[in-house]
Amino acid sequence: MPANILDGTRIAQDIRGEVAADVKTLTAAGVRPGLAVVLVGHNPASEIYVRGKVKACGEVGIYSEQLTPAESATTDELLAQIEELNRRDEIDGILVQLPLPAQVDANRVLMAVDPAKDVDGFHPLNVGFLSTQRAGLVPCTPAGVMEILKRSGIALAGREAVVVGRSDIVGKPAAMLLLNLNATVTVCHSKTHDLPGVCRRADILVAAIGRAGMITCDFVKPGATVIDVGMNTVTDPAEFHRFFAGNAKREEAFRKRGSTLMGDVHPGVAEVAGAITPVPGGVGPLTIAMLMFNTVKAAKMRRGHRVAELSRA
């Protein structure tokens, strides 16, 4: 029996609707959440991502600014810009779009963001809050994974979860979030012995390794929930046919575009899993939705007393 498809697009729409309602309430109380996005240079992929984020802000009522330093910008110039944004009270969230140009010290720039405005959840202070179960800002993609699980009614307490991938952006925070909700968590990586065997123990399998179709049926326990975080572009026809031969709709789209987007999970896993996220339309839409959520959360946390006073007025 094919897996239940977990519709990330619908869940993201629900979250955006909730965020828009929150923004409306806050704005009526005199506090409009604000997000600043720093985009250095002209990376086409980054420009697409930023357009999507700015558009989403407009749709939910968040004030947004896009700052576009030149490709030649230095670390010191960016640090000065971040410091100015840190001081501005009307800016609740600061997002530095990666990658940054080679001459820029990305770690220094990211560390300069005020943790209270770190809507990406990358600052070590927010990582520490997550690991010790204190209130803070959580990285958007893993937070989206948890929303899919919660809103799909998938129980976590006491269940075995395996995360494939140990990145600071997805793998590690996803593992901490699962652990905080009482799952028994294993984190796998390139050095893990018998990776398929470890994955087959999972009731919930999170694939965030960055390799197209790596997670095959051999990795999946029948009936498991599989969350596919991967976003890989396949352009090689032989590789495409290895994954999608016989899928007429995909084949037609591949002929037109010369590429297709797929996750880290082989399409055949849908015949084994109990529930699975598609790519596209699974975890992806949640990332921007959770960025909007984090911006509003930052506004509430930064100005909590003021918001409470204005709401009572």
Give the active site residues.
53, 97, 120
What would the two tokens of residue 84 be? 């100015």
- Residue 26: name the closest of 59, 61, 51, 53 by CA: 61
Give the bridge partners for 163, in sequence order: 187, 206
**Beta strand ranges found along 244-293 (DSSP E):** 260-262, 275-276
Q: Residue 187: enclosing H or E segment and its boundaries?
A: strand 184-188
Please tell me the distance from the alpha carbon of residue 127 to that of residue 158, in angstroms, as a whole number. Answer: 24
Burial of 247 (0-12, 13-18, 19+ CB in 10 A): middle
CB atoms within 10 A of CB 305: 7
